Amino acid sequence: MSQLEVLMTPAQREEFTRWVQNVSLTILKCRDQQHDFPDWDDHKRNKVRRQRNGSFVIRAACKRKCGVVRNRFVGTDGYLTRSNKLSMDYSQAMPANRDPLKGYLMPDGARTHGGGFTREQRALIRLEIIARLGEWITDEDDDG
């Protein structure tokens, strides 16, 4: 373990584990890998809007339907607008009942000061995915 590793307190670990066990597989996949955003030319899933100043906003929801929406801002010259190159909109990444154990963002009680996931949190996410896919997993010496 490196010196930079941020450790969870037991309470954070408990809260994080509860969250990991309750969120959808979709959210776990997006958390383990990356979101799956549509291509530019995916007219159904991408909204490209020209703003009054001529720049563009490209808004697309993750194809896995985790609820996260990405906004890209492209200037008239094609450069990504410096002020706001990219923004993620998490406002829809919550179930209707606002249950924090089902939402895309981990509950406050599971957050460490580093902000992002710790290595242990990433490991716990992978373990949970493996647990849920258990019936698909074969042993090395299985012939089937």
Residues that bind Zn ion (CB under 5 A): 30, 35, 62, 64, 66, 68
Name the residue among 89, 85, 10, 23 with its Cα closest to residue 55.
85
Cβ distance to Zn ion smaller for residue 13 or 29: 29
Cβ distance to Zn ion smaller for residue 8 or 100: 100
What minimum distance in Å lies between the beta carbon of 61 and Zn ion? Answer: 8
> ∠ CA 23-29-32 to the nearest 5 degrees?
105
What minimum distance in Å lies between the beta carbon of 71 and Zn ion? Answer: 14
Please give the Cα distance from 65 to 43 (Å, whole number): 16
> ∠ CA 113-10-32 to the nearest 5 degrees?
60
Q: Which residue is nearest to Zn ion (CB)?
A: 62
Cβ distance to Zn ion smaller for residue 84 or 92: 92
Cβ distance to Zn ion smaller for residue 35 or 102: 35
What minimum distance in Å lies between the beta carbon of 93 and Zn ion? Answer: 8
What minimum distance in Å lies between the beta carbon of 33 and Zn ion? Answer: 9
Cβ distance to Zn ion smaller for residue 8 or 62: 62
What minimum distance in Å lies between the beta carbon of 90 and Zn ion? Answer: 11
Please give the Cα distance from 2 to 114 (Å, whole number): 15
CA distances from 14 to 5, 61, 95, 111 (A): 18, 31, 21, 11
Q: What percentage of the chain's residues is helix, strand, coil (to nearest 5)?
A: 30, 15, 55
